[in-house]
A and B are shown apart, each in its own frame.
Chain A
Amino acid sequence: MENSNFPYSSGMTPHQSPMVSPGTLQSFGLGPTPTPVMPPSNSSMYPTTPGAPMTPFSPAPASASEGSGIIPTLQNIVCTVNLGVKLELKKIALHARNAEYNPKRFAAVIMRIRDPRTTALIFSSGKMVCTGAKSEDFAKLAARKYARIIQKLGFAAKFKDFKIQNMVGSCDVKFPIRLEGLVLTHGKFSSYEPELFPGLIYRMLKPRIVLLIFVSGKVVLTGAKVRNEIYEAFENIYPILKGFKKQ
Chain B
Amino acid sequence: MSAYQLYRNTTLGQCLQESLDELIQMGQITPQLALKVLLQIDKAINNALATRVKSRVSFKGKLNTYRFCDNVWTFVLNTAEFKDVGEIAKVDKVKIVACDGKSADK
Interface residues of A (CB under 8 A from B): 90, 93-94, 96-102
Interface 0/1 of B40-69, CB less than 8 Å to A: 000000000000000000000000011111
11 A–B pairs (Cβ distance < 8 Å), ordered by A: A90-B69, A94-B67, A94-B69, A96-B67, A98-B65, A98-B67, A99-B67, A99-B68, A101-B69, A102-B68, A102-B71
Q: Which residues of B contact A99 (CB under 8 A)?
A: 67-69
Judge whether B68 and A101 touch: CB under 8 Å: yes
Query: What 0/1 readout, one digit per residue, does chain B (83-95) give for beta carbons within 8 Å of chain A?
Result: 0000000000000
Total of A-B residue pairs, C-beta within 8 Å: 25
**B binding-site residues for A, Cβ under 8 Å:** 65-71
A98 in contact with B69 (CB, 8 Å): no
> Which 4 pairs show the lowest CB-CB distances between chains A and B?
A93-B69, A100-B68, A97-B65, A101-B69
Q: Is the interface of B mostly helix, strand, loop or mixed?
A: strand
Given contacts A98-B65, A102-B68, A102-B71, 14 further A-B contacts (CB under 8 A): A90-B69, A93-B67, A93-B68, A94-B69, A96-B67, A97-B66, A97-B67, A98-B66, A98-B67, A99-B67, A99-B69, A100-B68, A100-B69, A101-B69
- Could you tell me the distance in whole angstroms from the C-beta of B98 to the nearest C-beta in chain A? 13
Within the complex, what minimum Cβ distance (angstroms) separates B94 from chain A?
16
What's the Cα separation between A79 and B65 when bound, in Å?
Answer: 24
Which partner residue on chain A sits nearest B64 by CB separation? A97
Which residue of chain B is the closest to A89 with respect to CB atoms? B69
CA distance A101 to B71 in the complex (A): 8
Docked Cα-Cα span, A98 to B63, in Å, equals 10
What is the distance, in angstroms, from B41's C-beta to the closest C-beta of chain A?
26
- Contact, CB under 8 Å: A100 / B71: no
Task: Output the least CB separation between A101 and chain B (Å).
Answer: 5
Query: How many Å lie between the Cα of A76 and that of B68 in the bound state?
Result: 25
Q: State A99–B66 Cα separation when bound (angstroms).
A: 7
Instruction: From B65, B66, B67, B69, name the one whose CB has the most chain A CB atoms within 10 angstroms.
Output: B69
Q: In whole Å, how far is A121's beta carbon from the nearest beta carbon of chain B?
A: 14
State A94–B67 Cα separation when bound (angstroms): 8
Residues of chain A with a CB closer than 8 A to B66's CB? 97-98, 100
By a CB distance below 8 angstroms, the chain A residues around B68 are: 93, 99-102
Contacts of A97 in B (CB 8 A): 65-67
